[in-house]
Amino acid sequence: MKIGIIFGGSSEEHPVSVKSAQEVARHLDTEKYEPFWIGITESGAWKLCDGPDADWENGDCRPAVLSPDSSVRGLLVLEDGKYEAIGLDLVLPVLHGKLGEDGAIQGLLELSGIPYVGCDVQSSALCMDKSLTYLVVRSAGVATPNFWTVTANENPDPDQLTYPVFVKPARSGSSFGVTKVSRAEELRGAVETARQYDSKVLIEEAVAGSEVGCAILGNDLDLIAGEADQITLSHGFFRIHQEDEPESGSENSTITVPADISSESRSLVQETAKVIYRALGCTGLARVDMFLKEDGTVVLNEVNTLPGLTSYSRYPRMMAAAGLPLGEVIDRIVSLALTGKVQ
């Protein structure tokens, strides 16, 4: 099976995407799949390369584009001044953040006519915007934090809020642009920080509770939940993807898999994650991040439709703890993209 694996991208999460692709390469069964590695540089150039190693851009790469013409159903690769067509059976996007997780690449794939792994255009766009995610999930009966949106030309009144709050870009990931604000005089600077990543800013109440997450795989009613995990913080907030050496551990957080919670709470976290996943129309895979409060209730934090797959990422660790190593996860999400069913 010829699989196009797209990685890199021009968002702030480019380095994380490259690491995710490297982990996919380590676990991809090349007896089953013939991979075509398509790297997108930070400036947005597409290149067909030998693989996602750290220095991939300087290797033997050729300019390539994914054809939006569904009669081609594959890549157009520039060779000696001419474009060579390479057919693909499937595309696995290993992209995070803007243009990779927000419906943009999914729209191009819809035009191409090639089956692809993961959520469709609508659910990708919906989950990327945290304020819209909250509105939909609330309608499904799941609690969310109280929040306020700030548009590009708006200046919020700091005296109208109860602190602490979190200020974050409405449409970004990996905690880029996020600030915990404990005092009114810190608000304006936090909003400006968030605006470096998105013109739409979210101000969100701080939720008192444990940070927990659940990896979900599947479509519709046929869903597999990984083991729930739990993040313990010494200070600040979870931001492992921005640390210098996340492979050797985090400076302020510890992730426990399975989560150190009761069996009742574990079941509630997993079932709530499934409700959220279905309400947002997710398909293929997603990681649902939540808060578990002391009274046992669950509150949504956010949904990642193309979660990190690095060696230290939460999604593969939760699935591995449930008995599904990354190689098997890849097999199953490929099957879902082609047949709509977990096989």
Concerning whether 8 is annotated as a catalytic residue, the answer is no
pLDDT > 90: percent of the chain: 80
CA gap 307, 343 in Å, rounded: 21
CA gap 215, 313 in Å, rounded: 11
Q: Is the pLDDT at 240 greater than 60, yes or no?
A: no
Question: Looking at 59, 79, 247, 296, which residue is catalytic?
Answer: 247
* Confidence (pLDDT) at 80: 86
- In three-state secondary structure terms, 317 is helix
Concerning whether 116 is annotated as a catalytic residue, the answer is no
Q: Is the pLDDT at 182 greater than 90, yes or no?
A: yes
Question: Looking at 101, 308, 329, 332, which residue is catalytic?
Answer: 308
* Confidence (pLDDT) at 206: 92
Concerning whether 98 is annotated as a catalytic residue, the answer is no
- Structural domains of the chain sorted by starting position, each given as residue range(s) with its CATH number in brackets: 2-116 (3.40.50.20), 125-144+208-339 (3.30.470.20), 147-205 (3.30.1490.20)
247-302 per-position pLDDT tens digit: 555 566 789 999 999 999 999 999 999 999 999 999 999 999 999 999 999 999 99
* Structural contact between residues 179 and 188, judged by C-beta atoms closer than 8 angstroms: no
Best CA proximity match to 231, nearest among 156, 319, 318, 306: 318
Mean pLDDT, the chain, rounded, equals 92
Collect all residues with Cβ–Cβ distance below 8 Å to 195 and sequence separation of at least 6: 152, 169, 177, 201
- In three-state secondary structure terms, 72 is coil
Q: Is the pLDDT at 174 greater than 70, yes or no?
A: no
Q: Is the pLDDT at 316 greater than 60, yes or no?
A: yes
Q: Is the pLDDT at 7 greater than 60, yes or no?
A: yes
Angle made by CA atoms 320, 322, 327, in degrees to the nearest 5: 35
Concerning whether 96 is annotated as a catalytic residue, the answer is yes
Q: Is the pLDDT at 173 greater than 90, yes or no?
A: no
Question: Looking at 134, 197, 277, 312, which residue is catalytic?
Answer: 312
Concerning whether 312 is annotated as a catalytic residue, the answer is yes
* Structural contact between residues 313 and 7, judged by C-beta atoms closer than 8 angstroms: no
pLDDT class of 152 with cuts at 50, 70, 90 = confident
* Confidence (pLDDT) at 153: 84
CA distances in angstroms from 288 to 135, 152, 169, 217, listed in the order given: 16, 28, 18, 11
92-118 per-position pLDDT tens digit: 999 999 999 999 999 999 999 999 999
CA gap 300, 295 in Å, rounded: 15
* Confidence (pLDDT) at 247: 59
Q: CB neighbours (10 Å) of residue 153?
A: 6
* Confidence (pLDDT) at 317: 96
Q: What is the DSSP letter of 74?
A: E
43-88 per-position pLDDT tens digit: 999 999 999 998 999 888 999 999 999 999 999 999 888 999 999 9
Mean pLDDT of 214-238: 87
Which of 14-18, 99-103, 158-162, 248-252 is least confident? 248-252
Q: What is the DSSP letter of 246?
A: G
Concerning whether 59 is annotated as a catalytic residue, the answer is no
Question: Looking at 4, 12, 16, 302, which residue is catalytic?
Answer: 16
Question: Looking at 47, 130, 200, 287, which residue is catalytic?
Answer: 287
* Confidence (pLDDT) at 216: 98
Tokens 């007896």, residue located: 31
What's the sign of the alpha-carbon dihedral 289, 293, 294, 295?
negative
Best CA proximity match to 15, nearest among 93, 97, 127: 97
Collect all residues with Cβ–Cβ distance below 8 Å to 229 and sequence separation of at least 6: 212, 213, 214, 255, 256, 257, 258, 259, 314, 317, 318, 321
* Confidence (pLDDT) at 249: 58
Question: Looking at 19, 200, 274, 332, which residue is catalytic?
Answer: 19
Best CA proximity match to 101, nearest among 34, 194, 169: 169
Question: Looking at 47, 171, 200, 241, which residue is catalytic?
Answer: 241
Mean pLDDT of 231-244: 62
